[in-house]
């Protein structure tokens, strides 16, 4: 019975005199001020504080690492919040909120338009479904330049982007002059020999409503319509 008690007392004493950082025997009195466990008062076992003396306050390696990890996580969180605030402010400056009745320019994908066609079509905001997100796919136009673009003038029919860009090619805008020119690129003669583009006279005809059409199709000439705003 006596031997057993002595063994338990010895093991408890050894456990209490080991450094919590390195696990080696330690006979000093320095303890970590966070976990209150014995540790060497020199690096890398601990980080000494500004106090000096035999019983100076120290922080063990494990507590120091945990504190550094928490500090980095807090700094990362603050940086993310600051970045999110900057993004919201930049979005509010660049992407103005749309309202019903605003005239906008909507870009047309390259696959839906030809090289000589407009990259954008005019549009008007008919309805706002969600107000949480904004988009940079459209830009607000000054209302003074789009007096004819009114909600009551819209038919409300859904059309493809290809049809929209084709219809916009032959419309006249208030305050703008709209011209359409024809550039014949190739003519097929009876012997299948191509002629130069400059050798072909233009046969573009204009009508009173601003639309234009070409008669080169009668001569089997492939033409390209070029729209110019002046």
How far, in Å, CA of 122 to CA of 153, rounded?
Answer: 13
How far, in Å, CA of 172 to CA of 211, rounded?
Answer: 9
How far, in Å, CA of 180 to CA of 170, rounded?
Answer: 8
**Residues 163/185, Cβ–Cβ less than 8 Å:** no
Highest mean pLDDT pick, 49-53, 91-95, 145-149:
91-95
State the pLDDT at residue 174.
43
pLDDT in tens, 95-132: 667 777 777 777 777 777 777 777 777 777 776 666 55
Q: Point out which residues pair with 60 in neighbouring strands.
A: 46
State the pLDDT at residue 209.
37
How far, in Å, CA of 137 to CA of 70, rounded?
Answer: 41
State the pLDDT at residue 220.
42
pLDDT in tens, 167-182: 555 444 444 444 444 4
pLDDT in tens, 20-46: 888 788 777 778 878 888 887 777 787
Is the pLDDT at 94 greater than 90? The verdict is no
Of 140, 40, 59, 45, which is closest to residue 100 (Cα–Cα)?
A: 140
How far, in Å, CA of 45 to CA of 59, rounded?
Answer: 9
Band of the pLDDT at 82, cuts 50, 70, 90? very high
| Candidate from 45-59, 114-128, 215-229 with smallest mean pLDDT | 215-229
State the pLDDT at residue 124.
72
State the pLDDT at residue 5.
47
Of 127, 121, 125, which is closest to residue 105 (Cα–Cα)?
A: 121
How far, in Å, CA of 54 to CA of 193, rounded?
Answer: 104
**Type and span of the H or E element at 167:** helix 161-168
Residue 186 is encoded by which pair of tokens? 């190739």
More confident residue, 106 or 141: 106
Report the predicted TM-score, pTM, of the whole model to 2 decimal places.
Answer: 0.33
How far, in Å, CA of 184 to CA of 205, rounded?
Answer: 14
Summarize the confidence of residues 185-205 as an average pLDDT: 41
Is the pLDDT at 69 greater than 70? The verdict is yes
How far, in Å, CA of 185 to CA of 167, rounded?
Answer: 24
């Amino acid at each position: 019975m006596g031997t057993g008690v002595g063994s338990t007392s010895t093991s408890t004493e050894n456990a209490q005199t080991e450094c919590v950082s390195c696990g080696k025997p330690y006979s000093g009195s320095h303890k970590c001020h966070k976990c209150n466990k014995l540790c060497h008062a020199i690096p890398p076992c601990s980080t000494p504080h500004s106090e000096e003396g035999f019983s100076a306050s120290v922080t063990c390696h494990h507590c120091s690492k945990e504190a550094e990890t928490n500090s980095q996580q807090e700094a990362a969180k603050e940086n993310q919040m600051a970045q999110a605030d900057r993004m919201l402010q930049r979005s509010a400056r660049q992407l103005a909120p749309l309202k019903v009745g605003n005239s906008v320019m909507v870009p047309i994908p390259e696959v839906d338009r030809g090289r000589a066609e407009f990259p954008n079509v005019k549009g008007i905001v008919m309805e706002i479904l969600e107000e949480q997100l904004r988009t940079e796919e459209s830009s607000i136009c000054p209302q003074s330049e789009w007096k004819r673009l009114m909600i009551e003038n819209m038919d409300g029919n859904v059309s493809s982007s290809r049809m929209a860009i084709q219809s916009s090619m032959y419309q006249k805008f208030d305050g703008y002059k709209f011209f359409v020119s024809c550039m014949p690129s190739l003519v097929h003669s009876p012997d299948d020999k191509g002629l130069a583009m400059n050798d072909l006279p233009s046969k573009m005809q204009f009508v009173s409503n601003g639309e234009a059409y070409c008669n080169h199709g009668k001569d089997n000439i492939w033409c390209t319509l070029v729209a110019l705003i002046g």
